[in-house]
Amino acid sequence: MPTDRNRRRALQQLAALAIAPAIAPAAALAAPGGLPSATHDASSPEWERLASRLFAGKTLRAGQDVVQVIAPLRAAYGASVPVKVVSKLPQKPDLYVRKLYLVVDKNPSQLAAVLDLTTEVGRADFETRLRVDEYSHVRVVSELSDGTLHTDSRYVKTSGGCSAPPNRDAPHLIGKTMLKLAGELRMDQPVAADVTVLHPNDTGFELNQQTVMYIPPHFVRSIRVSYAGRKVFDADLDFSVSENPTLRFNFVPHGQGELRAEVVDTKESQFVGTLAVG
């Protein structure tokens, strides 16, 4: 049986391949020349390595004037840690949040999600649940349309998030994708909504209690959300997102239409959820 260290290395490589399409644009924007500069103390060797790869030569501006991440200092269950990203500026054509990166420094796969946004979200606030494998910083990087990068972090004390066994009570429902409004419907204004995909999001670190063998990785890789045929956001995800991945987001309805989520997992299975709005 492979050691945990070897499994971590292999799964990090798998995760990098799974989310590579999301990383590539950021790497292309980055100028060569080593680590980005940052003005805060909330760092770690793991974060420095990842930041040097994603944002080489770029300045990361720390503080909560543009973006804030909210997470509990102590989480009771490492496999489901609530995380909220609050953006401090509206999505206007002249300046908006173009990408959000969610990172868990000490997870086997650090880059939990990359969200590619449009002005159709109205406000770039997101909520989800993440796996946290050991005491670690959880951080967000907000990339604006002018190319500037803003970051915030929160230290979370919990463990075991990547090895907790998933719930398999209803395997026939894997992939079922549900959308619902989470706020009052107002035309031409940001409206909160949830998308949930029923999926075990297996990390590769969970043990099958009957066979005592590791369960192979199997997780949601991408969620594409549109409204009335117009892109709202694309999310490239990894197994650091919790079982039954859920995203709370905003969208701006300009009239009646269909809210649509298109989902792909690592087995190339495709799922669709829709919701008539208005």
Residue range 45-55, pLDDT digits in tens:
999 999 999 99
* Residues 107, 132 contacting (CB under 8 angstroms): yes
Structure confidence at residue 40 (pLDDT): 40
Bridge-based pairing state of the strands 220-227 and 230-237:
antiparallel
Query: What CA–CA distance (Å, rounded) separates 20 from 18?
Result: 6
- For 231, phi then psi, to 5°, come to -60, 130
d(CA 58, CA 74): 32
| pLDDT number for residue 179 | 98
On whether the 4-277 domain is CATH 2.40.50.140, my answer is no
- Tell me how far apart the alpha carbons of residues 53 and 30 are, in angstroms, rounded to a whole number: 9
In this structure, the strands spanning 37-38 and 59-62 are parallel
Global pTM reads: 0.85
Note the pLDDT of residue 5. 52
Is the Cβ–Cβ distance between 209 and 193 less than 8 Å? Answer: no
- In angstroms, the Cα distances linking 128 to 13, 54, 59, 156, 196 are 24, 22, 27, 15, 10
262: left (phi over 0), alpha (psi -120 to 50) or beta: beta
pLDDT confidence of residue 28: 30
Residues of the chain with pLDDT under 70: 1-41
Pair 125, 137: CB distance under 8 Å: no
Of 87, 116, 121, 86, nearest in space to 101 by CA: 116
Exposed, middle or buried: residue 262 (CB in 10 Å: 0-12, 13-18, 19+)? middle
Beta bridge partner(s), residue 276: 258
d(CA 210, CA 114): 35
Residues paired with residue 260 on neighbouring β-strands, in sequence order: 226, 274
Cross-strand bridge partners of residue 89: none
Q: Is 84 helix (H, G, I), strand (E, B) or coil?
A: strand
Q: Where are the domains of the chain?
A: 4-277
Whether 170 contacts 150, CB under 8 Å: no
pLDDT at site 212: 74
pLDDT at 23: 36
